[in-house]
Amino acid sequence: MELEEREIKKIVFVEPSSPDYHIFNRYPLPRLGTIILGTILQNNGYKVKVFIEDIKELDFAEIFSADLVCISTITSTAPRAYEVARQVKNYGIPVAMGGPHPSALPEDALGHCDFVLRGEAEQTILDFVHALASGKGYEEVKGLSFIKEGEIYHNEIPPFYHDLDTLPFPNFSLIQGYHKYKNAKKLIPKITPVLTSRGCPNDCHFCSVTKMFGRKYRFRSNENVMEELRQLELGYIFFYDDNFTASPKRTKELLRSMINERLCPDWSAQVCIDIGRDRELLDLMKRSNCHNCYIGLESINPDTLKAFNKKQTLEGMKECLTQLKRRGIRVHGMFVFGSDEDSVDTIRQTVKFATKNRIDTIQFMILTPLPGTKFYYDLDSQGRLVSRDWSLYDAHHVVYEPKKMTFFDLQFETFKAMAKFYSWRQVLKRLAKFDFYNSMLKAYGNRVIKKWKKKNKYFVELTKEFTSDAGKRIEIAARKTAEDIKERVRQFHAREKLSQLYRSNEGAPNRPAQEDPDS
């Protein structure tokens, strides 16, 4: 794209849909970074619209009327994001990309878009838009990657945004179709995401959080969070923090404020097992209506925990689960299979552990080498990656060579574990205890797993052909995750051409009908 002066009035943000079925398909939530950036721009006079494709399909009439399109993507949605970017760029509209994947692999993204905003962009988004409007000053925009005269430039990454209180509250009305989507869900109340902190000091080797948000916690003030809660239409709150209880003292203060002001909707959050030792915190969580905790249990294999750089024990997991159950707080446990210390027996024992400890819902995920993580660079340097089809990097497909299992064993046993946990037998066991909510969730999980199996049967069979011989490594053919995008854009262009013909031949409505839209 030519770096020239242009008028910027309308900006459209896009988050592409997930490439496959997963247990959160029915209740997707937007990543807040996109909404906050849109809110900042709207507050500065720009017309902003946000399309979260899992909520509402993309409207190319709106997208192609924008002066700038910004696309946020994680690794698994990158192929679809790239296709949207190519279509928009071909239409002559500048395209900027951001999010974990472009931040880790900016040159990969620049093969499809004009600009990449790496890292946290709240403090640089306005500088970027001003540079785009003036056609100059790109070198001064921190975190910006761009191409000038055939050469790629990567500006210095911006510092982490430390004063989170200065960020605007996200304006969810920018999301197209969001109000209608929320009101359509009858079984589960309206879910509103709220972020109270960023960063994580744990630096697990497979996690991309520290690459994007750093290893130091940054917290919003108690009053700032409370002010946002006061303004929300409270139904169900999901605290988006990577570890909501990272600072027990700060979390207790917030929960006490919620209790004192009677701002206690049902809420859920991601937490660590450390909460099992803090009875006061657990009691406050119960009193403030904590409904569900999402816990990265990761593995029951001590050697795997050590390899992951996870500082937790099996005894600590059990204590945490016991204390939460005593208070009637539900648990969503997240496990990762496929470390160099894992075997088929590890997977099977994990299913028994989850069932025995009465974990309500689970995710059994395949270890995925996300770009930007230590795990990715280690496997890449060892030549153990079998595919760079990013749509497969969704924690449900094997994309690297395991050590103590075959490719097929890791793929099939993980699926089998999910199917066993969400079996109809488990549904009936919950019904027998009159736990209708949990039985409903397990029945839903059962349906999703069957859909996944049907769609991915080809892939599971393909893993039987994978070989550990580096010279005979099989590269998976890229899945068609964006064919519908191409077709919808083609239809848009056809409608536009017909519309132009009608306008230019007013009074002769039969002529355009004889034209070939593809000509």
CA angle centred on 390, ends 384 and 395, rounded to 5°: 75
Q: Cα separation of 325 and 275, whole Å?
A: 13
Average pLDDT score over residue span 483-504: 83
Q: Cα separation of 362 and 468, whole Å?
A: 30
For residue 384, give every residue at least 6 positions away whose Cβ sits within 8 Å of its Cβ, in sequence order, or none.
400, 401
Answer yes or no: is pLDDT of 482 > 90: no
Strand-strand pairing, 144-148 and 191-194: unpaired
Answer yes or no: is pLDDT of 77 > 70: yes
C-alpha 400, offset from chain centre = 21
Q: What burial class does residue 186 get, using C-beta atoms within 10 Å of its C-beta: 0-12 exposed, 13-18 middle, 19+ buried?
A: exposed
- State the pLDDT confidence band at 202, using cuts at 50, 70 and 90: confident
3-class DSSP assignment, residue 135: coil
For 231-242, b where at least 16 C-beta lie within 10 A, e where not — what string?
eeebebbbbbbb
Most distant CA pair in the chain, distance: 80
Residue closest to 288 by CA, chosen among 267, 309, 310: 267
User: Taking a C-beta distance cutoff of 8 angstroms, is the pair 62, 174 a contact?
Assistant: no
Residue closest to 168 by CA, chosen among 41, 40, 45: 40
Average pLDDT score over residue span 96-107: 96
For residue 74, give every residue at least 6 positions away whose Cβ sits within 8 Å of its Cβ, in sequence order, or none.
99, 100, 101
User: Taking a C-beta distance cutoff of 8 angstroms, is the pair 85, 101 a contact?
Assistant: no
How far is residue 294 from each of residues 197, 271, 321, 362, 374, measured CA to CA in Å? 16, 6, 11, 9, 24
Answer yes or no: is pLDDT of 301 > 90: yes
Residue closest to 344 by CA, chosen among 409, 417, 403: 409
Least confident among 80-89, 194-203, 319-328, 501-510:
501-510
Q: Identify the sign of the CA torsion 247, 196, 116, 130.
A: negative
3-class DSSP assignment, residue 309: coil
3-class DSSP assignment, residue 171: coil
Q: Identify the pLDDT of residue 256.
A: 98
Map tokens 């130091």 to a residue.
Answer: 216
Q: Cα separation of 164 and 44, whole Å?
A: 18
Answer yes or no: is pLDDT of 510 > 50: no
Number of C-beta neighbours around residue 211 at 10 A:
19
Q: Cα separation of 179 and 191, whole Å?
A: 11
Map tokens 């890229």 to a residue.
Answer: 478
Judged by phi (left if over 0) then psi (alpha if -120 to 50, else beta), residue 500 lies in: alpha
Task: Name residue 236's beta-bridge partners.
Answer: 191, 266
Query: pLDDT of 27-57, one tens digit each?
Result: 667 789 999 999 999 999 999 999 999 889 9
Map tokens 């088929």 to a residue.
Answer: 344
Least confident among 159-173, 197-211, 335-349, 468-482:
468-482
Residue closest to 297 by CA, chosen among 279, 321, 325: 321
Task: Name residue 289's beta-bridge partners.
Answer: none
Query: pLDDT of 389-443, one tens digit each?
Result: 999 999 999 999 999 999 999 999 999 999 999 999 989 988 888 888 888 888 9
Q: Identify the pLDDT of residue 88.
A: 97
Q: Identify the pLDDT of residue 187.
A: 44
User: Taking a C-beta distance cutoff of 8 angstroms, is the pair 380, 372 a contact?
Assistant: no
- Record the pTM: 0.90
Q: Identify the pLDDT of residue 28.
A: 67
- State the pLDDT confidence band at 186, using cuts at 50, 70 and 90: very low
358 DSSP assignment: T
Percent helix, strand, coil in the chain, to 5, is 45, 15, 40
HEC letters along 18-40:
CCCCCCCCCCCCCCHHHHHHHHH
User: Taking a C-beta distance cutoff of 8 angstroms, is the pair 65, 8 a contact?
Assistant: no
Answer yes or no: is pLDDT of 68 > 60: yes
Mean per-residue pLDDT of the chain: 88
**In the β-sheet with 290-298, what is the strand arrangement from edge to edge?**
191-194, 236-239, 266-271, 290-298, 330-337, 361-366
Structure token digits, residue 223: 């009053």
Structure token digits, residue 37: 């950036």
Q: Cα separation of 9 and 304, whole Å?
A: 51
Average pLDDT score over residue span 1-18: 87
Answer yes or no: is pLDDT of 182 > 70: no
Higher pLDDT, 471 or 370: 370
User: Taking a C-beta distance cutoff of 8 angstroms, is the pair 112, 482 a contact?
Assistant: no
Average pLDDT score over residue span 450-459: 88
How far is residue 55 from each of residues 154, 241, 280, measured CA to CA in Å? 33, 22, 38
Query: pLDDT of 121-133, one tens digit each?
Result: 999 999 999 999 9
